[in-house]
Structure 1
Amino acid sequence: MSELAIKSAKYIKSHILEIQFSDDHIKLVDFAPFIFSNGHPDYEIYKSESEFLKFDLIDGNLNWDDYTMIFPVEDLYKNKLTK
């Protein structure tokens, strides 16, 4: 498989994004279980939906606040977010 990247991310509701990947695969990813169960102080801000929605798409990856929160593209593709 060629290097996987994110083409687009669209807000659905709450902490759920519809993510389209470079191979045109589309996945709904719910970030709430990760954010609300992690316990790391850096992620507390993203419990607020308005703060969660302040992500950027940089170099084919979702990025929150200058890399405060970022996930491997392959994990998003598999919908397997880990602590």
Structure 2
Amino acid sequence: MSEISVESAKHLKSHILEIEFSDGYKQIVDFAPFIFSVGHPDYEKYKSESAFLDFEIIDGNLNWDDYTMIFPVEDLYTNNILKNK
């Protein structure tokens, strides 16, 4: 996958976002399984929906709190964020 980036992300419900990529593809990603099972203290605050929704798109990446939580764009594109858990 070359040079695909995140263009936008729309909240659907809970910890679910619809992400649109630079090639026009859209993927619905549920982050809850990752956030609630990873067990890392840095991710605890994202269990709160309001904290989870405080994300930014920076340089084509979806990130939270100055890169505290970030996922490879390819993993978002393929909806495979649990593989690196």
The CA deviation string for residues 2-40 of structure 1, in whole angstroms up to 9 with x for no partner, is: 301001000000000000001100010000000000000
1:57-68 counterparts in 2 under 5 A?
57-68=57-68
RMSD after superposition: 0.8
Amino acid at match of 1:42: D
Residue 51 of structure 1: aligned partner: 51
Q: Which amino acid aligns with 1:40?
A: H
List gaps (5 residues or longer) in structure 1.
none
Structure 2: which 5+ runs fail to align?
none
- Give yes or no for the alignment of 1:26 onto 2:26: yes
Which structure 1 residue ranges, 4+ long, deviate > 2 Å from structure 2? Answer: none
Cα separation, 2, equivalents of 1:27 and 1:71? 14
TM-score of the superposed pair, with normalisation by structure 2 = 0.95
Return the offset for 1:73: 0.2
CA drift at 1:69:
0.1
Partner of 1:76 in structure 2? 76
CA distance in 2, matches of 1:51, 1:10: 15
State TM-score, norm by structure 1.
Answer: 0.97
| Aligned sequence identity (%) | 73
